[in-house]
């Protein structure tokens, strides 16, 4: 059964998820003003699945249970599924102007599904069967699963097993007849607190000495020994202010990251998907990274649409919409945004079937997509800030615009003065101008920047990670051979 957004929020209240923020435990984290906007973003992924207008992109028929499921819990069965995934992500970016947090779990499902199949093929293990049964459970209950890959890493120059502190990469600390015990942490975890479950993957390719770190499994978000420390975002405490609305820019939606700590957590055998088979850690990482780099050609484009729209509105409110340089900047922003979308669709269209039967994107084009994502959103944001003007970052608080404190010689209040001197074109009120500039501040610099600008750089791997994959996938020797043939140079 497909849950509604309201039902999803209520389902979170049944969990005993342990959340910490500002050095203290947060008991009612579902209604906490800093956390709730991120929950609202996730709820949108549920509500749109019930909207007939978006049925084709938001849902799909499961190949496992034969029922209609939310696309976020679906295994891609064709290149059309891969393209619909990107279209869904763009739609949600447009609807929330923020990160909606379910992409990592979806990408983990598809990577773990195919990797476990090939692991079993070599070693005769039961990991694929374990995962299929687990995903059936997720689909039947319409759950959100946080895909967790990134370890703290410690000294980046050392392998997992060579770290001074062995917990810098999540590892197996005990093997039991009925399961394993794991210890460590996963950092920068998008939507972790808002998820019912977690699916864990290794974060780098492994060698034999790292086999205790070559582990993949699933566990409930409120498992014994698991807790989360909420990550700070720029301007986050504005949400704690009384009557916070205008100054937030995007009062309803937001993203969320956390450090997820595994303090000797027990994982039963039927929820283990990799356990020491170090030679398959790299495959899982590479496939997940490919899927997730494809994702950015959708979600960041949707938020980009919001930025372009907000910049155009800001230009109108500033009285500058007809200026040729403003029009040209909006054209450039659109060009960059649509280029990113083209990359997301291209790597989907060129996808292929895995041995397990689900579809995988073209890895080279997915990495090209993400490499562009590390650059273009920064330029889109820069142009938006250029169009908006300096008031975006120097504007007084909304409390000043509403203040009745008298300061002028003619009995003027602080509110009167602010509304007078920060007025723009007659096509908008001063408050409307405030609101659109605060939205741009939120997406370009504030809490939403975590899910747009900075995540564009570091999410799914920092720029060098894509460049390594582009080099590996580029078939340079094949290109050299083409050139030699055309030039009439014989192979030696």
Residue 296 is among the residues annotated as catalytic for this protein: yes
Beta bridge partners of 258: 230
Which of 299, 347, 369, 444 is catalytic? The answer is 299
Residue 127 is among the residues annotated as catalytic for this protein: no
Torsion sign, CA atoms 55, 57, 58, 60: positive
Residue 257 is among the residues annotated as catalytic for this protein: yes
- Asked whether the beta carbons of 150 and 203 are under 8 A apart, the reply is yes
Which of 99, 275, 347, 444 is catalytic? The answer is 99
Residue 225's nearest CA partner among 170, 177, 297 is 170
In whole angstroms, give the CA distance from residue 428 to residue 80: 43
Which of 96, 125, 127, 257 is catalytic? The answer is 257
In whole angstroms, give the CA distance from residue 286 to residue 201: 11
Residue 103 is among the residues annotated as catalytic for this protein: yes
Which of 17, 45, 103, 316 is catalytic? The answer is 103
Q: 3-class DSSP state for residue 185? A: strand
Which of 17, 45, 190, 354 is catalytic? The answer is 190
SS3 track for the chain: CCCCHHHHHHHHHCCCCCEEECCEEECCCCCCCCCHHHHHHHHHHHHHHHCHHHHHHHEEECCCCCCEEEHHHCCCCCHHHHHHHHHHHHHHHHHHCCCCCCHHHHHHHHHHHHHHHHHHHHHCCCHHHHHHHHHHHHHHHCCCEEEECCCCCCCCCCCHHHCCCHHHCCEEEEEECCEEEEEEEECCCCCCCCCCEEEECCCCCCCHHHHHHCEEEEEECCCCCEEEEECCCCCHHHHHCCCCCHHHCCCCCCCCCEEEEEEEEEEEHHHEEEECCHHHHHHHHHHHHHHHHHHHHHHHHHHHHHHHHHHHHHHHHHCCCCCHHHHHHHHHHHHHHHHHHHHHHHHHHCCEECCCCCEECCHHHHHHHHHHHCCHHHHHHHHHHHHHCCHHHHCCCHHHHCCCCECCCCCCEHHHHHHHHCCCCCCCCHHHHHHHHHHHHHHHCCHHHHHCHHHHHHCCCCHHHHHHHHHHHCCHHHHHHHHHHHHCCCCC
Residue 99 is among the residues annotated as catalytic for this protein: yes
Which of 292, 441, 444, 452 is catalytic? The answer is 292
Residue 190 is among the residues annotated as catalytic for this protein: yes
Active-site residue list: 99, 103, 190, 257, 292, 296, 299, 455
């Amino acid at each position: 059964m497909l849950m509604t957004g309201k039902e999803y929020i209520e389902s979170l209240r049944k969990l005993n998820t342990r959340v910490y923020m500002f050095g203290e435990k947060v008991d009612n984290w579902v209604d906490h003003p800093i956390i709730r906007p991120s929950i609202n973003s996730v709820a949108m992924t549920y509500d749109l699945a019930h909207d007939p207008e978006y049925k084709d992109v938001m849902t799909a028929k499961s190949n496992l249970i034969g029922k209609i499921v939310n696309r976020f819990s679906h295994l891609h069965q064709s290149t059309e599924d891969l393209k619909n995934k990107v279209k869904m992500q763009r739609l949600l970016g447009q609807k929330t102007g923020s990160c909606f947090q379910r992409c990592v779990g979806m990408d983990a499902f598809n990577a773990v599904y195919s990797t476990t199949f090939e692991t079993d093929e070599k070693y005769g293990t039961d990991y694929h069967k374990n995962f299929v049964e687990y995903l059936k459970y997720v689909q039947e209950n319409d759950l959100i699963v946080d895909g967790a890959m990134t370890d703290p890493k410690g000294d980046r120059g050392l392998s997992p097993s060579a770290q001074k502190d062995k917990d810098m990469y999540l590892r197996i600390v005990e093997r039991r007849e009925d399961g394993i015990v794991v210890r460590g942490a996963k950092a920068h975890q998008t939507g972790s607190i808002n998820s019912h479950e977690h699916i864990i993957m290794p974060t780098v390719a492994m060698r034999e000495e790292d086999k205790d770190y070559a582990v993949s499994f699933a566990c409930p978000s409120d498992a014994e020994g698991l807790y989360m420390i909420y990550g700070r975002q720029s301007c986050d405490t504005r949400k704690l202010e009384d009557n916070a609305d205008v100054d937030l820019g995007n009062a309803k939606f937001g993203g969320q990251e956390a450090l997820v700590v595994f303090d000797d957590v027990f994982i039963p055998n039927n929820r283990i998907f990799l356990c020491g088979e170090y030679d398959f850690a790299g495959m899982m990482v590479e496939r997940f990274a490919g899927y997730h780099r494809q994702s950015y050609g959708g979600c960041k484009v949707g938020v980009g649409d919001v930025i372009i729209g907000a910049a155009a509105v800001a230009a109108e409110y500033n009285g500058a919409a007809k200026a040729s340089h403003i029009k040209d900047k909006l054209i450039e922003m659109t060009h960059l945004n649509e280029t990113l979308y083209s990359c997301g669709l291209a790597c989907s269209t060129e996808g292929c079937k895995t041995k397990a039967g689900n579809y995988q994107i073209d890895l080279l084009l997915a990495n090209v997509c993400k490499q562009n994502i590390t650059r273009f959103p920064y330029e889109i944001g820069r142009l938006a800030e250029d169009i908006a003007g300096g008031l975006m970052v120097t504007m007084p608080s909304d409390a000043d615009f509403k203040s009745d404190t008298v300061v002028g010689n003619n009995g003027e209040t602080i509110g009167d003065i602010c509304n007078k001197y920060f007025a723009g074109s007659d096509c908008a009120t001063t408050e409307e101008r405030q609101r659109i500039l605060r939205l741009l501040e939120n997406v370009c610099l504030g809490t939403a920047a975590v899910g747009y600008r900075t995540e564009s750089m570091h999410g799914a791997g920092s720029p060098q990670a894509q460049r390594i994959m582009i080099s590996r996938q580029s078939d340079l020797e094949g290109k050299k051979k083409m050139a030699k043939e055309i030039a009439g140079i014989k192979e030696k």
